[in-house]
Structure 1
Amino acid sequence: MIKERLGKLREVMKQEGVQCLVIPTSDYHNSEYVSEYFMARKYFSGFTGSAGTLVVAEDQAALFTDGRYFIQAARELSCSDITLMKMGEPGVPAVKDYIKEILKKGQKLGFDGRVVTAGEGEAYEKLAEAAEGRVVYDRDFCGMAWEGRTQLAFTPVYQLSEAYSGESCEGKLARLREKMKEKGAEIHYLTTLDDIAWLFNLRADDVESCPVLLSYAAITETESYLFAGEKAFSEEIREYLAKNHIILKPYESFYDFVAARGMENKEEKILVCKNRINYRLLKELPEKRLIDSPNPTTRMKAVKNETEQENLRKAHLMDGIAVTRFMYWLKKNVGKIPMDEISVAEHLKSLRAQNPSFIEPSFETISAYGDNGAIIHYSAKKDACSTIQAKGMLMVDSGGHYYEGTTDITRTFILGEITEEMRQHFTLVARAVMRLKSLRFLKGCRGTNLDLAAREVFWQQGLDYKHGTGHGVGYLLNVHEGPNSFRYKELPGSDNDWEFEEGMVTTDEPGIYIEGSHGIRTENELLCRKGEQNGYGQFMHFEDLTYVPIDLDGIDPAAMEESEKKTLNAYHKSVYEKLSPYFEGEELEFLKKATREI
């Protein structure tokens, strides 16, 4: 099937005079997760992971992805002629280096400029020019070859009230305009979906598990324009837009608006973030009038206000009750009733759904039993998932969107007999979580400073994990949100000029992955708070948001330092205090045992 699809794609390439085609994992808004309409890389490669780039030439094709997906990609590409390129591994070229190698003199390099970032598009343009060729970016190559492609979906838009957002749309627009004024900008084009949803206090379901609306925005000193699917707006929401002086325009009219605006306002200074806009938009904008700077809304929404913080505590309490009940049900029933990776994930979802504030999962649950846990972003399929038995471990990475906020939690559950290596690895992961969450640090620290607190215990034993230690989390928005994160490497093209601020929410999720054997990850969310201020400066610390037991059946206390045991015991004491009022009978007895002191 994949060979046939690539064959049709190559026919289109030949018709359009393009010898090499780049297909990223993206939509028109540089989103991490995309709706079915934009899953071209998945359709033409068969690789179902959430990150990767497919490069198709006349006689070869290659799929580039990172360490989270090496095992998964190898499996899914095994029946195709596509070469797996393990990004970051020795001897493996980067995407651009690979294109440079295969692009012959005078050949054309193609891509849909709407799904390629401005920076990537400029780099591809230079590659093509160096080969005395050019780029072709103004057509949808994949769409021409994709049979049965779904239509763009625009779901009903709803308002997030100030009881949840903590700030009015009017207040957010005023703050944004102040930032624009500071930078000397007269108009700001905003194309990232989570920034737009946050700014206007609007939500929808246009991307699965991401409560955003497909949209663009243009903000001037006096006007706000929202480009979206007009039929998705009720009269009530249209009245809300009018009250906030937001002009609604058709989604597809955005580029015409940009072109017309450029002709009518030839001296207007334009604020954009080149790392976040697409190449097609960049080509519409006059370079001499551009102010390239991170979107001000990115940092604004990363710092949760007091209302959001209090709501998040409520959301995590609701989520903790559901996940702990799942833990009780799982450990009580494993080996006694039929279970597989899909059925247990569905049961967890049903427990979350018992709460009236629950909206939907915040991402597709990773339910990975046994050696499937070694696949960092494993995705179980109904016709190909593992049966769960009363032995080994089950890793469940899941989360929920509630009106009170977004959650993300991973727990690895001990279901029976495990090896001594598994126990030591489980303990190592727990130690790392405790070390990071208990940090005290001076304001000014970044994620590259703090990552070592978790990763050091792995490095001491010659081990590591191929992902960041933590990421920011949105408020009823994307479960992965910048700019805050814990990682020891700075990502190319990212906004690295940031520091941890009070109100930022970040996950703490070290792990270990042994191919063919097991995978272990434990994840909590942390809220950054101000601590003591003295002559040395402002000290900061983290508040736990996640309250769910860490499975003590996998812990070797003798392998932990006394400070780590003290931190784990204190955490479990808090878990019991938070959750016990909502439990009774056998569930309460289970909670007591699960949070016992070691």
Structure 2
Amino acid sequence: MTVKERITALREVMAEKKIDAYLVPTDDFHASEYVGEYFKCRKYITGFTGSAGRAVIMQDMAGLWTDGRYFIQAAAQLEGTGVELFKMGEPDVPTVHQFLEEKLGEGMCLGFDGRTVSAEEADELTELLAKKGATLQTDSDLVGEIWEDRPALSCEPVMELDVKWAGESRADKCARIRKSMEEKGADGFVLTSLDDIAWLLNIRGGDVHCCPVVLSYLVMTKTEIRLFANEKAFSASILDALSKDGVTILPYDSIYEYVKTFEKDMTVLLCKKKANCRLVNSIPKEVTILDEANLTFLPKSIKNPVEVENERIAHIKDGVALTKFICWLKKNVGKIPMTELSAGEKLYSFRAQQENFIDNSFDPIISYGIHAAINHYSATPETDIAIEPGNFLLADTGGHYYEGTTDTTRTIVMGSVNDEQKKYFTAVLRGMLNLGNAKFRYGCTGVNLDYLARSPLWEMGQDFNHGTGHGVGYLLNVHEGPNSFRWRIIQGDNAVLEEGMITSDEPGYYVENQYGIRHENLLVCKKAEKTSFGQFMCFEHLTMVPFDLDAVVPELMTVQERALLNNYHAQVYKKISPYLEEEEKEWLKEATREI
């Protein structure tokens, strides 16, 4: 069926069930950023393939809301479908909730699959619509009813992450969380976030593309841990190891019936922002719910010394692969055929040569020329174009290794670029270097530091329409909270920067239909000196990959900025060159020369 036909079929089911508006989020049952094929209802109903967005379908309209990363992509993919694009954050564009408040009145009904909407949002919508005399229906998966040949729920094999990689045993982590439960006065802890469960139990899986997580829910009490998952995904040895640590496996879907058995005098901690509304509504009303951030959320983001040292190793391996890739690109562009997709395959082959490489940490964003202006463009067979001399190639890619997760962006000159492109390339690089060089008092958040990355562009009246940086998991999700770099304050995404947190530093600049620039390193937060003013903090660059000096204008950089780049490049050469062939080593020596 075409998108128009799917929407027509959905409207017929909505009419039967007396639903006036149907909300289709991107989420799975766990509020995941990226979801498995089974859960891609929003993609199915609208045709938009981006990782963020939500649709609202009514009898007389269909709309898609997405953020600035995807404005260009969404406009192209929605063309001719009858689905209207709502550009989130733009002037005079209503939010989804504002739109629903305006459109739904007395006696009307909003529907959605309650497993894909958080309890927090469901509460907000209930209150919002009650004022208008409208109601909610949350027990129907209407897209599932019309989706022929829907993929099955994933059940990929589970692996156990050895302590030499994790740095802390499952038993010790669980003891830490139980201590936090005691401090909070909680008898139980309901955990639904897939990466948090994987971190807590030192397990990894493959149920979400590029995210090594296991479809599961977890309930911890003072004496028991119940993991709701597909037992077929676990080997006998892992089941035995989990059992020895007090973890019992129960069927994935049985969580909804299980929470109904909670004793009425229990106090249960969960995060309504993460737990879906059907699950929370299944808990007896008499149970006291502590709605707080998951107890695993902050500990997971603070990498222990073993994890940090492993990440240094992972980034040297990844740096070798990327350096080989950039060298190959520079020497072969215009001489042999290459496209965005074939370049991605070539990079994968370089990563696969590295010991303990597992997979990409996300689908590679390798975009040439006009495609690089689309922040999160990923090539498909339909959009794939040739890479030729005369523009930038933007490569935002990463890998999963047993030693950790990487995420690096380099903008590479293919042949030559003009003076304007060099000016903005240099400005973005200056911002990235200045943020990486930040020194600050403990207690600062990414909002305090974001200006360092944007100031070279802001001074020219320019900017980029995405966050400057995100937290990164350890062999987990490449986007991980609560740490970030942003100029806007976003609730729950503005944590104090702690020693051991890994955050990306990735300013950019994009000119629609012309080119795009982004430079990205991962930084680990460290303690600096302690003075009478308190503890000071700084960053260490984990990423070890050269920047393309062919687009750097030294005259546009301060003396300090040139020193930062030269010092960084000296580190890159020292750490990466021992693993290169002689010809590659000579290339890297020139590529990291002092300016």
TM-score by structure 1 length? 0.98
1:458: which partner in 2? Answer: 457
Counterpart-to-counterpart distance in 1, 2:382 and 2:143: 28
Which of residues 280, 283, 298 in structure 1 aligns to 2:281?
A: 283
**1:182-201 alignment runs, 5 A limit:** 182-201=183-202
- Whether the aligned pair in 2 keeps the contact of 1:443 and 1:540 (CA below 8 Å) is yes
- The answer to whether residue 404 in structure 2 is matched with residue 405 in structure 1 is yes
**1:17-28 alignment runs, 5 A limit:** 17-28=18-29
Counterpart-to-counterpart distance in 1, 2:231 and 2:580: 46
Partner SS for 2:537 = strand
Report the CA distance shift for 1:287/1:522 in structure 2 as closer, same or farther (over 3 A): farther
Counterpart-to-counterpart distance in 2, 1:24 and 1:584: 48
Partner SS for 2:296 = helix
Higher alpha-carbon deviation: 276-285 or 331-340: 276-285
- Cα deviations across residues 204-229 of structure 1 (Å, max 9, x unaligned)? 10000000000000000111110001
Counterpart-to-counterpart distance in 2, 1:117 and 1:421: 45
1:512: which partner in 2? Answer: 509
Q: Point out where structure 2 has 5 or more consecutive residues left out of the alignment.
A: none
1:42: which partner in 2? Answer: 43
1:551: which partner in 2? Answer: 548
Deviation for aligned residue 1:28: 0.2
1:107: which partner in 2? Answer: 108
Q: Point out where structure 1 has 5 or more consecutive residues left out of the alignment.
A: none
Partner SS for 1:109 = strand
Counterpart-to-counterpart distance in 2, 1:384 and 1:540: 44
**1:401-440 alignment runs, 5 A limit:** 401-440=400-439
- Cα deviations across residues 116-162 of structure 1 (Å, max 9, x unaligned)? 11121112212332221210001111101111111101111110010
Counterpart-to-counterpart distance in 1, 2:490 and 2:444: 17
**1:165-176 alignment runs, 5 A limit:** 165-176=166-177
Partner SS for 2:563 = helix
2:369: which partner in 1? Answer: 370
Partner SS for 2:388 = coil
Higher alpha-carbon deviation: 443-452 or 276-285: 276-285
Partner SS for 1:131 = coil
Higher alpha-carbon deviation: 412-421 or 199-208: 412-421
**1:353-392 alignment runs, 5 A limit:** 353-392=352-391
Counterpart-to-counterpart distance in 2, 1:350 and 1:395: 18
**1:136-151 alignment runs, 5 A limit:** 136-151=137-152
- Whether the aligned pair in 1 keeps the contact of 2:69 and 2:466 (CA below 8 Å) is yes
Counterpart-to-counterpart distance in 2, 1:293 and 1:129: 25
Partner SS for 1:296 = coil
- Cα deviations across residues 26-68 of structure 1 (Å, max 9, x unaligned)? 0000000000000000010011100001000011011000100
Counterpart residue identity of residue 302, structure 1 = S
How much identity, in percent, do the aligned residues show? 50
Counterpart residue identity of residue 141, structure 2 = D
- The answer to whether residue 530 in structure 2 is matched with residue 529 in structure 1 is no
Counterpart-to-counterpart distance in 2, 1:584 and 1:135: 63
Counterpart-to-counterpart distance in 1, 2:221 and 2:161: 23
Structure 1 runs of 4+ aligned residues shifted over 3 Å read: none
Counterpart residue identity of residue 499, structure 1 = V
**1:73-152 alignment runs, 5 A limit:** 73-152=74-153
1:395: which partner in 2? Answer: 394
Deviation for aligned residue 1:495: 4.8
Counterpart residue identity of residue 397, structure 1 = D
Partner SS for 1:338 = coil
Counterpart-to-counterpart distance in 1, 2:438 and 2:342: 38
TM-score by structure 2 length? 0.99
- Whether the aligned pair in 1 keeps the contact of 2:268 and 2:287 (CA below 8 Å) is no
After superposition, the CA RMSD in angstroms is: 1.0
- Whether the aligned pair in 2 keeps the contact of 1:109 and 1:124 (CA below 8 Å) is no
- Whether the aligned pair in 2 keeps the contact of 1:107 and 1:128 (CA below 8 Å) is no
- Cα deviations across residues 69-94 of structure 1 (Å, max 9, x unaligned)? 00000000011111100011111111
How many aligned residue pairs are there? 593
- Whether the aligned pair in 2 keeps the contact of 1:170 and 1:244 (CA below 8 Å) is yes
Deviation for aligned residue 1:356: 3.0
1:223: which partner in 2? Answer: 224
Counterpart-to-counterpart distance in 1, 2:112 and 2:39: 13
